[in-house]
Amino acid sequence: MIRENLEKVEAAMREACARSGRNFEDVTLISVSKTKPKEMIEEAYACGKRQFGENKAQEMKEKCIALPEDIVWHFIGHLQTNKVKYIVGRAALIHSVDSLHLAEAIEAESAKKNTISKILVEVNVAQEETKFGVGTENACQLVREIAKFPHVKVEGLMTIAPFVENPEENRPIFCKLRELSVDIAAKNIDNVSMSVLSMGMTNDFEIAIEEGATHIRVGTGIFGEREYAVL
């Protein structure tokens, strides 16, 4: 099932790239394996996948230790400062930095481990109250402040669009994130790159690709529906 799903997702990625005059190679598919067992990750790995996304710090750490070393882990969930220690040195990219306080904790842990952590600033473009992320108007200032940390490197921006029936509704959100990234790039801030735009999930990744996503995060479309324990 995973192989067929991956083929479908990649076919849709190719079509979205063709529609928007982009190269398929310029869009990275992150297989979002949160809540899914290691066996399913191994199945995707056997299909050649190497980029995986997790949203819980301890879960990512455990999977990282148990699974092949050449997996590239993306941390995409809300991160509490006391969990930063599980992620730094393991995640190739932390997509969800939305406060100076969190960036400070990542800086401290990265200095301690003598490593540089690559991060994205999460922007709440849709201004949904239930979502994390810095407001569009405060994103540039946060990037400037994080840029001062020697062990943290801003690589771009990330957003989570709302769940909508018609993915077209999210096009303005993706478009806004790209515009914001162009604006910030134009400021030529030292130690800052705006080369990554992480946007688009199962429901809307084709629109996100048309609007310039460099990284899409697809869970359900690859691994099927998630089941959450009822507490």
Ligand X SMILES: *Cc1c(COP(=O)(O)O)cnc(C)c1O
CA distances from 215 to 26, 135, 191, 196 (A): 9, 21, 21, 7
Between 171-186 and 139-146, two packed helices, what is the crossing angle to 10 degrees? 50
Of 1 and 115, nearer to ligand X (C-beta) is 1
Of 105 and 160, nearer to ligand X (C-beta) is 160
Q: Rounded to an integer, what distance in angstroms lies between the CA atom of residue 144 and that of residue 197?
A: 18
Shortest Cβ 124–ligand X spacing (Å): 12
Q: Footprint of ligand X on this chain (CB under 6 A)?
A: 32, 34, 55, 76-77, 160, 201-203, 217-221
Of 79 and 149, nearer to ligand X (C-beta) is 79
Shortest Cβ 61–ligand X spacing (Å): 17
Shortest Cβ 208–ligand X spacing (Å): 11
Residue closest to 152 by CA, chosen among 138, 162, 142: 142
Q: Which helix (H) or strand (E) holds 195?
A: strand 192-198
Q: Are the C-beta atoms of 44 and 6 separated by less than 8 Å?
A: yes
Of 177 and 201, nearer to ligand X (C-beta) is 201
Q: Rounded to an integer, what distance in angstroms lies between the CA atom of residue 205 and that of residue 187?
A: 28
Shortest Cβ 187–ligand X spacing (Å): 26
Shortest Cβ 31–ligand X spacing (Å): 9
Of 7 and 183, nearer to ligand X (C-beta) is 7
What is the per-residue burial (b if ≥16 Cβ within 10 Å, else e) of 66-80?
Answer: ebeeebebbbbbbbe
The residue sitting closest to ligand X, measured at its beta carbon, is 219
